[in-house]
Structure 1
Amino acid sequence: MRISTSGRRWVLGTAVCGVLIAGCSSGGGDDGDAKPRAKPAAEAKPLAAGALRPLLLTEADLGSGYVQVQDELGSEKFDDISVQGCPALEKLGQDGEGDMFAAKVEASFTYDRDATLGEEVHSDRPSVLSSKLRELFGAYTSCPTYTLTSGTTPIKVKVSKSVNPELGDEQFAYTSTMELPSGAQVLKTMAVRKGNVAVMLVGAPALVDRHIKTAVGKLPAGN
């Protein structure tokens, strides 16, 4: 089946789930002398895109050899992408178009011309970020293999979970290997949530591992 624009971005690893959000128990005795219960703290609101842009990595953050590039084609380059052989991903594609989170900014870099590193910074209420990231990464790690069709070319994809770094409030990671006509390409996708902001890096595993700590370090303190 053909999948949504957001889904296509995640499948290709170029562009950021069902969590149980704990409710507050209201149990207790009928002690007339008990003090009124304090109201639960309100969740932090999403940040606007303008507040997220300074949080993106820059060439200065990454070091020599990195060049920031513009995504001139936008979502059009994903129009002929579809997925077969993974029910969770197919369902994800059926959930509709549009961005998953309240605000998003992104940046893309090349490294020594033949390697890429993509970054997205998202913001939403912490419970929404947590829920949707768990849903998304859960879907992409639910099938060890599936087929990605680009135009008329079928591409076999193998997926494995990756070790999560001990950063932020929540961490998610997986590695995908795509069997392309030119040879196998390995991409790592890693996301870290810190309060009402989450950062995701996608690219060559060594580049993602090298820069995730710097990317998380640019995020504001968790709210």
Structure 2
Amino acid sequence: MMRISTFGTRRWVLGTAVCGVLITGCSSGGGDGGDAKPRAKPAAEAKPLDAGALRPLLLTQADLGAGYTQVQDESGDRKFDDISIQGCPALDKLSQRDEENMFAAKAEASFTYDRDATLGEEVHSDRPSVLSSKLRELFGAYTSCPIYTMTSGTTPIEVKISKSVTPELGDEQFAYTSTMELPSGAQVLKTMAVRKGNVAVMLVGAPALVDRHVKTAVGKLPAGG
């Protein structure tokens, strides 16, 4: 059984394919009979921030404006224990390496908007190359399957995935849209992540809310890293 890791979500889905960014130095050789120049040292990567440093980077009600209410989620990952996925080998493979998909630090927040719509946010930190490779793996896994089935308890839910356009923000951007065929009708959620150095922000929720607030969320991230 697969536990859904967050983002694309905790509120529904998140996933990434190993295409890491390797940071290497340049080197050059001498001419015939010359001594080779010493290899340059690789550029040092920024270290991860801790959870305490990430919490101030989260969106607040003041950032979002009127109509938003922050909600507390005390159930943690337990509410995903009865969720499994069928019909997507990449996601199944990803679930077998759960611990490898953990970032060094995380902070999260959840909001409702006008009672019906939701917006979830997670801010992660790790070395830039680790963030890059794992985000690529997560989003690569989810977008590799245009259609799969998610079972919650005994209820099968058809999920359709499509890649989404991303704004030119930060160092890397990832996004996809999920359409879930629920008994009550179709629900559409958008998942978007932007990496900026050693920090990444991920939003999931109603597409209009994600698009409206992603620039503000990225704007709260540190300039360096």
Taking structure 1 as the reference length, what is the TM-score of the superposition?
0.92
What SS class does the counterpart of residue 82 from structure 1 fall into?
A: strand
**Gap change, CA 1:62 and 1:15, over 3 Å in 2:** farther
Report the equivalent of 1:128: 130
Contact kept, 8 Å, 2:143 with 2:163, in 1: the verdict is yes
Shift of 1:98: 7.4
Q: What CA deviation, in whole Å up to 9, does each residue of 1:52-79 have, x standing for no partner?
A: 0000000000000000000021111111
Report the equivalent of 1:104: 106
Shift of 1:164: 1.1
What SS class does the counterpart of residue 46 from structure 1 fall into?
A: coil
Report the equivalent of 2:187: 185
Q: Does 1:29 align with 2:30?
A: yes
Report the equivalent of 2:19: 19
Distance 2:211 2:121 in 1: 13
Stretch deviating more after TM superposition (71-80 or 3-12): 3-12
**Gap change, CA 1:99 and 1:133, over 3 Å in 2:** closer
Distance 1:75 1:61 in 2: 27
Q: Does 1:4 align with 2:3?
A: yes
**Gap change, CA 1:201 and 1:214, over 3 Å in 2:** same
Distance 1:16 1:85 in 2: 15
Shift of 1:4: 3.0
Q: Work out which of the residue numbers 85, 88, 91 in structure 2 matches 1:86.
A: 88
Q: Work out which of the residue numbers 159, 162, 178 in structure 2 matches 1:160.
A: 162
Which structure 1 segments of 5+ residues have no match?
A: none
Taking structure 2 as the reference length, what is the TM-score of the superposition?
0.91
Instruction: Tell me how large the CA RMSD over aligned residues is.
Output: 2.1
What SS class does the counterpart of residue 6 from structure 1 fall into?
A: coil
Q: What CA deviation, in whole Å up to 9, does each residue of 1:115-154 have, x standing for no partner?
A: 0000000000000000000000000000000000000000
1:36-115 paired onto structure 2 within 5 Å = 36-97=38-99, 100-115=102-117
Contact kept, 8 Å, 1:145 with 1:156, in 2: the verdict is yes
Letter in structure 1 aligned against 2:30: G
Distance 1:106 1:162 in 2: 23
Letter in structure 2 aligned against 1:45: K
Distance 1:173 1:32 in 2: 49
Shift of 1:186: 0.2
Q: How many correspondences in the alignment?
A: 221
Q: What CA deviation, in whole Å up to 9, does each residue of 1:157-208 have, x standing for no partner?
A: 0000000110000000000000000000000000000000000000000000
Shift of 1:39: 2.0
What SS class does the counterpart of residue 168 from structure 2 fall into?
A: coil
Letter in structure 1 aligned against 2:92: E
Moved over 6 A (4+): none
Report the equivalent of 2:213: 211
Distance 1:152 1:33 in 2: 66
Report the equivalent of 2:142: 140
Letter in structure 1 aligned against 2:51: A
Distance 1:8 1:105 in 2: 12
